[in-house]
Amino acid sequence: MAAPGYSADRASLQARLARIEGQVRGLQRMLDEDRYCIDVLTQVTAVKAALDKVALALLDDHVSHCVVDSVREGTHAEKIRELTDAIGRYLG
Amino acid sequence: MAAPGYSADRASLQARLARIEGQVRGLQRMLDEDRYCIDVLTQVTAVKAALDKVALALLDDHVSHCVVDSVREGTHAEKIRELTDAIGRYLG
Amino acid sequence: MAAPGYSADRASLQARLARIEGQVRGLQRMLDEDRYCIDVLTQVTAVKAALDKVALALLDDHVSHCVVDSVREGTHAEKIRELTDAIGRYLG
Amino acid sequence: MAAPGYSADRASLQARLARIEGQVRGLQRMLDEDRYCIDVLTQVTAVKAALDKVALALLDDHVSHCVVDSVREGTHAEKIRELTDAIGRYLG
């Protein structure tokens, strides 16, 4: 159980995060250019949607690896509580 | 009505966005360091909360400036529809 | 300024809420019938989306009436803070 | 695999849903009484938070039962995809 669950998909997660970083820099440029609030907000919405996809990919990987391994080891109760706590915090 | 509503608070919004950009880079480092999925997800939650605050600040500024000005000009119906459409998209 | 902003659309809001009440009773029946978790969750998602629409309608009405009236009376700063605070709580 | 995962906690889930149904009826009364938009919205926020808790309880039960059972049967890939799809729809 050396590497965390997202190892296999790390390249794809890193690509998503690099894109999000670019979108956040784009937001800073939009403010510099005095762009219309609603257009800026639309772009913030796009960043939030991209972030939701990262969160989902992390959840998927966590269940597919950590939770599945813990079932085999009979230690899943704690892993599952940790998972739903994390989703609960993400929901707000 | 030259500048958009967020002009006055632009420095504060830019500071928030610069911090979010740093958090997104921090997430990329966490993946590079094979950090535990749930810890990465907790950090994604922090970024989402920071993004919500940017969205709220933009909404506040939009209402305080664009909507208020449009009321004075009697053209607020469209501005308000634009506002609730944008909030609707943000809610998902 | 007797009636709150949603008066005109109250019939439509009440119809939405009556539908949501029916959906929540439908959820209780789904549990009684031992329906599959994911199907129950899909129905919870539909209720949440319906609730988001009620929230948006209330926001729209609040801005269209209370905020617009307050601009005319020059007392909008407080109304707008109240609005963004309420949206912030709704976002989580 | 007779009963769905939430069987054990069904009483608690049913109690939550009965409470939500009461809250939705309370919202209808608030509109009948011409209550202030922001106060109605605050109550909508409470219903949404209660609904989030139901969604989380369903997710927890689904993972604790259906996903755990499917790991033992070697059929978890599909269950996990179903789970993350459901969370994705819930996020919006």
A92 interface with C at CB cutoff 8 Å = yes
Residue closest to D53 by CA, chosen among D22, D89, D12, D24 = D12
Q: Tokens for A84, please give them.
A: 């739903």
Averaged over D19-23, what is the pLDDT? 98
Residue A49 belongs to some domain of the structure: yes
Domain count, chain D: 1
Residue B44 belongs to some domain of the structure: yes
Averaged over D6-35, what is the pLDDT? 92
Question: pLDDT of A39-91, one tens digit each?
Answer: 999 999 999 999 999 999 999 999 999 999 999 898 999 999 999 999 999 99
Residue C76 belongs to some domain of the structure: yes
- pLDDT value of residue B92: 86
Residue closest to B91 by CA, chosen among C47, D49, A75, C90 = C90
Q: In which band, very low, low, confident or very high, does the pLDDT at A9 lie, cut at 50, 70 and 90? A: confident
Closest residue on chain C to A92 (Cα): C92
CA angle B62, B65, B67 (to 5 degrees): 70
Question: pLDDT of C26-40, one tens digit each?
Answer: 999 999 999 999 999
Q: In which band, very low, low, confident or very high, does the pLDDT at D8 lie, cut at 50, 70 and 90? A: low
Answer whether residue B3 shows pLDDT above 90.
Answer: no
Answer whether residue D86 shows pLDDT above 60.
Answer: yes
- pLDDT value of residue C6: 63
Averaged over C5-10, what is the pLDDT? 68
| pTM of the model as a whole | 0.90
Q: Output D26-29 pairs: Cβ under 8 A, ≥24 positions apart.
A: D27/C17, D27/C54, D28/C14, D28/C17, D28/C18, D28/C21
Question: pLDDT of D38-64, one tens digit each?
Answer: 999 999 999 999 999 999 999 999 999
D56 interface with C at CB cutoff 8 Å = no
Answer whether residue B47 shows pLDDT above 90.
Answer: yes
C92 interface with B at CB cutoff 8 Å = yes
Residue B50 belongs to some domain of the structure: yes
Averaged over B52-59, what is the pLDDT? 95
Answer whether residue B1 shows pLDDT above 50.
Answer: no
Q: What CATH number is given to the structural domain containing A51?
A: 1.20.58.1000
Burial of C88 (0-12, 13-18, 19+ CB in 10 A): middle
- pLDDT value of residue A2: 44
C11 interface with A at CB cutoff 8 Å = no
**Residue C91: its chain A contacts at CB < 8 A?**
92
Averaged over B55-80, what is the pLDDT? 92
- Identity of the residue in D6, D40, D86 whose CB atom sits nearest the CB atom of C58: D40
Predicted ipTM of the assembly:
0.89
CB contact under 8 A, A84 and D76: no
Residue D35 belongs to some domain of the structure: yes
CB contact under 8 A, D91 and B91: no
Residue D5 belongs to some domain of the structure: no
What is the domain extent for residue A64?
Answer: 10-91
- pLDDT value of residue B5: 59
B38 interface with A at CB cutoff 8 Å = yes
Residue D2 belongs to some domain of the structure: no
CB contact under 8 A, D88 and A52: yes
Q: pLDDT above 90 covers what percent of chain B?
A: 80
Q: What's the rounded Cα separation, in Å, for the pair D79 and D77?
A: 6
Residue B5 belongs to some domain of the structure: no
Averaged over C45-71, what is the pLDDT? 94
SS3 for chain B is CCCCCCCCCHHHHHHHHHHHHHHHHHHHHHHHCCCCHHHHHHHHHHHHHHHHHHHHHHHHHHHHHHHHHHHHHCCHHHHHHHHHHHHHHHHC
C37 interface with A at CB cutoff 8 Å = no
